[in-house]
Amino acid sequence: MNKRFVAILLYATLLGSVCAQEFRCAVSVNYQKLMSTTQAYATSDTKIFESMKQAVEDFINARKWTALEMEQNELLDCTFSLILVERSSLSDFKGQISVQLRRPVFNSTYTTGLFNYMESADFTFSFNESQPLDYDPNTFYGNLSSAISYYLYIMLGIYFDSFAPNGGEPFFEVAHTICQTAENSGFKGWKSTDNQKARYWFYENHTNSAYASIHQAYYLYHRMGLDMMTKDQPQARQNIISALREVQNVHKARANTLAVQQFFDVKISEIVSIFTPAPTEEQKAVYDIVKQVSPINAPKLKNFAMQ
**Average confidence score pLDDT of the chain:** 90
Looking at the 3D structure of the chain, how many domains does it have?
1
Domain-embedded: residue 70: no
Domain-embedded: residue 301: yes
The pLDDT value recorded for residue 250 is 97
Domain-embedded: residue 93: no
pLDDT band at 196 (very low <50, low <70, confident <90, very high): confident
Domain-embedded: residue 135: no
The pLDDT value recorded for residue 42 is 61
The Cα-based distances of 234 to 14, 134, 148, 163 in angstroms read 40, 48, 39, 20
Q: Residue 13: is its pLDDT beyond 70?
A: no
The pLDDT value recorded for residue 38 is 61
Percent with pLDDT over 90 in the chain: 79
Q: By residue range, what is the domain housing residue 297? A: 216-307
List Cβ neighbours of 142 (8 Å cut-off, separation of 6 or more): 125, 126, 133, 134
List Cβ neighbours of 166 (8 Å cut-off, separation of 6 or more): 9, 215
Domain-embedded: residue 300: yes
- At 19-72, the pLDDT tens digits run 458 999 999 999 988 887 766 666 567 899 999 999 999 999 999 999 998 888
Q: Residue 300: is its pLDDT beyond 50?
A: yes
Q: Residue 95: is its pLDDT beyond 90?
A: yes
Domain-embedded: residue 228: yes
Domain-embedded: residue 74: no
Q: Residue 254: is its pLDDT beyond 90?
A: yes
**β-strands 23-30, 76-87: how paired?**
parallel
**β-strands 92-104, 76-87: how paired?**
antiparallel
The Cα-based distances of 211 to 26, 35, 133, 203 in angstroms read 31, 44, 34, 11
pLDDT band at 153 (very low <50, low <70, confident <90, very high): very high
The pLDDT value recorded for residue 105 is 97
- Whether residue 120 contacts residue 32, with contact meaning beta carbons closer than 8 Å, is answered with no
Domain-embedded: residue 86: no
Percent with pLDDT over 70 in the chain: 91
Segment 78-95 shows an average pLDDT of 94
Identify the three-state secondary structure at position 114.
strand
The pLDDT value recorded for residue 34 is 86
pTM value is: 0.91
The pLDDT value recorded for residue 290 is 97
- At 210-243, the pLDDT tens digits run 999 999 999 999 999 999 999 999 999 999 999 9
Segment 274-292 shows an average pLDDT of 97
The pLDDT value recorded for residue 194 is 85
